[in-house]
Amino acid sequence: MLVQKENRIGDVVADNFRAAKIFEDFGLDFCCGGKKTIQQACSEKGINPETVLSNLTVADAPTVSSAHFNKWDLDFLIDYIITNHHSYVTNEVTTIEHHMQKVLSKHGEKNPELYSVNNFFNELKEELLIHMQKEEKMLFPYIKKMVLVQKNELEFPHPPFGSVSSPVAVMEAEHENAGKLIHELRKTANNFTPPDDACTTFRILYSELAEFESDLHIHIHLENNILFPKAIELEKVLTNNN
């Protein structure tokens, strides 16, 4: 894919996942902001798009180890998301909460911003846990059923929610809010940079939060820019065939 300023960020990352790191380095949102063109996103940040394109050219060099998410079957991609991202969130929030409480009890008085960091994380955690349940109980099974229908030429099951675009719109709105929360969390936590006198647990906590943010960006990207658009397109194909 020859990347140009008119290309949408999400499409670029979907085609070449290594581009994600480039966009992150420039502070360009490739998950919730994936529908913006490179030109639009750079203009909003005051960045020269040609500089971004130059870096993307380097990232476009072929490598065997890169994951081809955009080429996977949707049922396989769903299993990957659940195993690698949903499970990560479920397990990691417990660890982060434990460290958060230890750091708050020892450093909260001297670093009052930690209380806001804790509040943002709790809100994000609660939203993600409920959000993932919705996907796993309703949306993902329907997408898997569509894949099964297509592969085996079965009768197309019309969903109770009318069209897959309806729950997708809800999930994308929740992704948008999660993106805002993690952005505020990062800002409040000084870009996850602990103070110079921070203890080991304090430093571990901020490293965990930075990793959590990185995983969330990938998680949302895989759904917003690959899974959801393809599910909507698959439903259109199946509807036209019935």
pLDDT digits 0-9 by tens, 69-87: 888 999 999 999 999 999 9
Q: Residue 60 has what pLDDT?
A: 58
For residues 71 and 84, give the distance between their C-alpha atoms in angstroms, rounded to a whole number: 18
3-state secondary structure of 197: coil
- Predicted confidence (pLDDT) per residue in 105-153, tens digit: 999 999 999 999 999 999 999 999 999 999 999 999 999 999 999 999 8
Summarize the confidence of residues 233-239 as an average pLDDT: 92
- Are the C-beta atoms of 108 and 114 separated by less than 8 Å? yes
What global pTM score does this model have?
Answer: 0.80
Chain mean pLDDT for the chain: 90
Return the domain boundaries, the chain.
9-59, 72-241
DSSP letters for 55-82: HHHHHTS--TTS--GGGS-HHHHHHHHI
Instruction: Give the number of other Cβ atoms within 10 Å of residue 121's Cβ.
Output: 22
